[in-house]
Amino acid sequence: MKTTISVIKADIGAVGGHLKPSEKLKQRVADFVAENGLKKRLLIDYFVSSTGDDVSILMTHTKGTLASEIHKLAWEAFMAGTQVAKEQGLYGAGQDLLKDAFSGNIKGMGPAVAEIEVDERPSESFLFFAADKTDPGAYNLPLYLSFIDPMHCPGLMLSPTMKQGFKFVIMDVNYTEGDRIIELNAPEDLYDIASLLRDNQRFVIEAIYSRTTGDLAAVVSTTRLHNIAGKYTGKDDPVALVRVQSQFPATGEVLSPYAIGHFVAGTMRGSHVGPLMPVKANTMPTYFDGPPIVCGLAFSMHNGKLTEPADVFETPFWDHVRDKVAAKAIDLRRQGFSGPAMLNISELEYGGITERLNRLDSKFVVREEKREVVKAAEKILRK
């Protein structure tokens, strides 16, 4: 049976700043989806969850990807949630809903979207990741390691169903006139893939396919909110779906890279660098609006019906990782705005600094005596 898994995520308002949606808001979104999706048989199943200040609606159905009625359902559920956010005075009510009215497809309207249509395997297992206070490039390194590197994915050496490797679809997310993508194959294009994925702010993994079966293995939301809005509206907190086991990496092979706590863009004012901390569901980013967090929920699915989620980062092992990541976060924070602790000027999510630098630029002077020395030196060199 062909089933589509759609996850659509938005920040529509949070308690006490950018921390977490209220229970009432989440309940309103879930009730809306139950009433208008499940009851009307548009959906087979759904699961509403939150990561930091973002609400995700995970849905299963048979309408395929980019289905207007599914996207409209999510949009309207977020609108209903935004109403609650306004009534409760939540911060950033409706923040990610950047357009006034729904028009066919939620992509480009603010919310993040990741969708996979699957030919259901007898035991279909997948992971749903949601990250907060970061951007889609945060998944570049973990996905690269899980799907390319036998140090994390020994299945690439051991499993006959993975021996041909995977195809990567990588998007240039700075390009705004359409979807600019490139397809590269691992392992033979490994150095090309690495050369692109090094730049997490520009090149983002959009999808990964098995080269053995042709099946879609993983998808990542690639929204860039400031490309849509033309100004800062918040970081593009990304969601991802990754199918696991059999012809795909095992659950543990997909999770292994998250023990690194690699540095990503985001955290305070979407303008800094911080280590990605794997967290339990419903964790808030309360240190310097960070550190960037990622939560992972594993599901099994049969005929589109979902099990309850398994919260993959809740075990004692990840407490140890979190301690180490917290230490990394504090270490980098100690150097404040200096050098690699803060993002490049083009990635800063607030315009204030550009105005400041422009003002300062006009106040710069060139020392006359030095100018004379340079001129004299040039004259001699020319002779």
Query: Using CB under 6 A as the criterion, which residues of the chain lie in contact with ligand F6R when the complex forms?
Result: 17-18, 133, 234-235, 268-270, 289
E-state strands within 186-266: 203-210, 216-220, 239-243, 263-266
Q: How far is the CB of 339 from ligand F6R (least distance, A)?
A: 20
Q: How far is the CB of 48 from Mg ion (least distance, A)?
A: 16
- Work out what residue 54 binds among ligand F6R, Mg ion, none; the CB cut-off runs from 5 to 8 Å by kind: Mg ion
Report whether the peptide linkage leading into residue 136 is cis, meaning its omega lies within 30 degrees of zero: no
Tell me 276's DSSP state.
Answer: P
Q: How far is the CB of 141 from Mg ion (least distance, A)?
A: 20
Instruction: Report d(CA 32, CA 93) in Å as an integer.
Output: 17
Q: Each residue of 270-289: b (16+ CB within 10 Å) or e? A: bbbbbbbbbbbbebbbeebb
Catalytic-role residue among 107, 167, 235, 328: 235
Contact residues toward Mg ion (CB under 5 A) are: 11, 18, 52-54, 132, 234, 237
- Of 52, 33, 41, 241, the C-alpha closest to 134 is 52
Cα–Cα distances in angstroms (integers) from residue 296 to residues 7, 132, 133, 190, in the given order: 13, 12, 15, 27
Q: Is residue 2 flagged as an active site residue? A: no
Instruction: Report d(CA 62, CA 69) in Å as an integer.
Output: 11
Maximum alpha-carbon separation in the chain: 87
- Work out what residue 257 binds among ligand F6R, Mg ion, none; the CB cut-off runs from 5 to 8 Å by kind: none
Cα–Cα distances in angstroms (integers) from residue 158 to residues 13, 124, 142, 168, 249, in the given order: 46, 21, 20, 21, 11
- Work out what residue 236 binds among ligand F6R, Mg ion, none; the CB cut-off runs from 5 to 8 Å by kind: none
Phi, psi angles (nearest 5°) of residue 294: -135, 135
Measured from the CB atom, the residue of 86 and 371 that comes closer to ligand F6R is 86
- Work out what residue 135 binds among ligand F6R, Mg ion, none; the CB cut-off runs from 5 to 8 Å by kind: none
At residue 126, what is the residue type?
A: F
Measured from the CB atom, the residue of 84 and 268 that comes closer to ligand F6R is 268
Measured from the CB atom, the residue of 237 and 253 that comes closer to Mg ion is 237
Q: How far is the CB of 18 from ligand F6R (least distance, A)?
A: 4
Q: How far is the CB of 140 from ligand F6R (least distance, A)?
A: 19
Does residue 131 contact residue 237 with C-beta atoms inside 8 Å?
yes
Catalytic-role residue among 63, 192, 232, 287: 232
Q: Is residue 328 flagged as an active site residue? A: no
**165 pairs with which residues across the strands?**
none
Measured from the CB atom, the residue of 45 and 237 that comes closer to ligand F6R is 237
Residue 240's SS3 state is strand
E-state strands within 221-271: 239-243, 263-266
- Work out what residue 347 binds among Mg ion, ligand F6R, none; the CB cut-off runs from 5 to 8 Å by kind: none
Q: How far is the CB of 98 from ligand F6R (least distance, A)?
A: 15
- Work out what residue 17 binds among Mg ion, ligand F6R, none; the CB cut-off runs from 5 to 8 Å by kind: ligand F6R
Q: How far is the CB of 56 from Mg ion (least distance, A)?
A: 11
Measured from the CB atom, the residue of 104 and 351 that comes closer to ligand F6R is 351
- Work out what residue 268 binds among ligand F6R, Mg ion, none; the CB cut-off runs from 5 to 8 Å by kind: ligand F6R
**113 pairs with which residues across the strands?**
8
Q: Which residue is nearest to ligand F6R (CB)?
A: 289
Phi, psi angles (nearest 5°) of residue 22: -70, 160
Q: Is residue 323 flagged as an active site residue? A: no
Measured from the CB atom, the residue of 132 and 135 that comes closer to Mg ion is 132
Catalytic-role residue among 11, 132, 135, 236: 11
Measured from the CB atom, the residue of 95 and 245 that comes closer to ligand F6R is 95
Residues carrying an active site annotation: 11, 232, 235
